[in-house]
Amino acid sequence: MSDLVAQPVATVEQSKLQRNARLFLVLLLIALGAWTLHGFVAALVWAAIIAIAIGPIYDRAVRRWPSGKPLVLPLLFTTLVALLFLLPFIVLGIQAAREAQAVTHFVSTAMRSGIPEPAWVGSLPFGGAQIGAWWKNNLEDASSVSGLVNHATHSGGMLRNREILTAFTHRVVIFSFTIVTLFFLLRNGEALARDMGRASQRLFGPHGERIARQMVSSVHGTVDGLVLVGLGEGLLLGIAYAVAGVPHPTLLGAFTAVAAMIPFVIVILLLAIGAVLVAQGSVAIAVALVVFGLVVNSIADHFIRPGLIGGATKLPFLWVLLGILGGVETWGLIGLFVGPALMSALILLWREFIRPASEAVPAPLKAKTLSPVPFAGE
């Protein structure tokens, strides 16, 4: 009799030991996998964000041309995304190559005869005497200019060049891996989303799917509110730059579009451009351009973006702003999308936590919940 009792107890203890061992093995493999791929996490996240952003357009293309889904459409959309990111850098490279000769000529002339003090320095309302004295001591004398140029080119120049080359190579690798990952996400996104939906249902129940959908909506809203609105601001201000006679309005407008995606950065950019115009003697044009830019930015930040981002996630714009700023501070540029997505998930959890039990949302039907969550573009 004692043997019959001891055998089930031993079986239970062995089963418990096996569960603990499996849990330890799973955690160990996850940790090793995360450590192995930590250098490519940013590429994976970027690929997922881009896939979510273009999901609605890709879904419409798949419904229109279903025969192209296995290879043609994923390859086409991946190529278009790659060109969308590469074309601005190609244009900048061509422009830099065109101006390299002029810059070289300016530097060589400055090293031979110095840089004369511009007329606007003496017309400054304050600080003109100090700037003029510094200019005469450091830039008007050819030997001083030569010393500055030699110091800039030789002081740790080889080290800086090596660091720049290493950073550039790393970013090229990350970008290439992002594009490759995007192709596979587009090609196998539905199957991956179904698997993630099943895993989420088993681990977290209906809460997991609602959180995933909330985060996807946040990414869509953030893309509309930051990227599209930023492109609109860049277009309007690029036209204003051309009218005001600012050098290189096209390139500066593209840079403005990127700066407009990050709160408050465009204000600094506008003030810097205004200062350059004031230094050139175009005070009225500088004031008009800065005022126009601030009005456009204010309308975008206070009226358009809150509606697009907050409307998609039902998130107060204060939390959207905190998510954007905190995300950029913590994660860099990718935090523009990760921060609001995390805030929207936390706010959803808070709302479900404080919701009365009588208002609890029933679990959705399984036939509906297993639709592709991250890539369906819903």
Q: Could you tell me the two tokens for 184?
A: 């596979």
pTM of the entire structure? 0.67
Is 218 within 8 Å of 313 (Cβ atoms)? yes
Which of residues 153, 171, 204 is at a domain's end?
204
Do residues 93 and 127 both lie within one domain? Answer: yes
Q: Is residue 35 part of a domain?
A: no
Nearest to 337 by CA among 350, 345, 251: 345
Do residues 88 and 192 both lie within one domain? Answer: yes
The C-alpha atoms of residue 88 and residue 255 are separated, in whole angstroms, by 10
Q: Is residue 344 part of a domain?
A: yes
The C-alpha atoms of residue 180 and residue 161 are separated, in whole angstroms, by 29
Q: Is residue 129 part of a domain?
A: yes
Do residues 193 and 244 both lie within one domain? Answer: no
Is 215 within 8 Å of 378 (Cβ atoms)? no
Do residues 116 and 186 both lie within one domain? Answer: yes
Do residues 197 and 214 both lie within one domain? Answer: no
The C-alpha atoms of residue 149 and residue 110 are separated, in whole angstroms, by 10
User: 238 — phi, psi (to 5°)?
Assistant: -60, -40
Q: Could you tell me the two tokens for 37?
A: 């791929």
What is the crossing angle of helices 229-244 and 283-299, to 10°?
170
pLDDT tens digits along 320-333: 778 888 888 888 87
Query: What is the predicted pLDDT for the residue at 128?
Result: 65
Which of residues 204, 227, 250 is at a domain's end?
204
Do residues 244 and 312 both lie within one domain? Answer: yes
Q: Is residue 3 part of a domain?
A: no
295 CB-near residues (< 8 Å, 6+ apart):
none
Do residues 111 and 58 both lie within one domain? Answer: yes
C-alpha distances in Å from residue 254, one per residue of 161, 266, 267 = 27, 12, 15
Between 376 and 298, name the one with better pLDDT.
298
The C-alpha atoms of residue 344 and residue 311 are separated, in whole angstroms, by 12
Q: Could you tell me the two tokens for 207?
A: 């809460």
Q: Is residue 371 part of a domain?
A: no
Do residues 173 and 211 both lie within one domain? Answer: no
Q: Is residue 10 part of a domain?
A: no
pLDDT tens digits along 199-226: 777 777 777 777 778 888 888 787 877 8
Count Cα neighbours of 57 within 13 Å in the Cβ-side half-sphere: 13
Structural domain containing residue 284: 206-362
287 CB-near residues (< 8 Å, 6+ apart):
274
pLDDT band at 115 (very low <50, low <70, confident <90, very high): confident
Do residues 117 and 226 both lie within one domain? Answer: no
Do residues 133 and 88 both lie within one domain? Answer: yes
Own/partner contacts of 104-108, CB < 8 Å, gap of 24 or more, are 107/149
The average confidence (pLDDT) of the chain is: 76
**Lowest pLDDT segment from 4-13, 51-60, 276-285:** 4-13
Do residues 323 and 229 both lie within one domain? Answer: yes
Between 364 and 185, name the one with better pLDDT.
185
Q: How many domains does the chain have?
A: 2
The C-alpha atoms of residue 323 and residue 317 are separated, in whole angstroms, by 9
Do residues 287 and 333 both lie within one domain? Answer: yes
Q: With left for phi above 0 and alpha for psi between -120 and 50, is residue 282 left, alpha or beta?
A: beta
Query: What is the predicted pLDDT for the residue at 352?
Result: 78
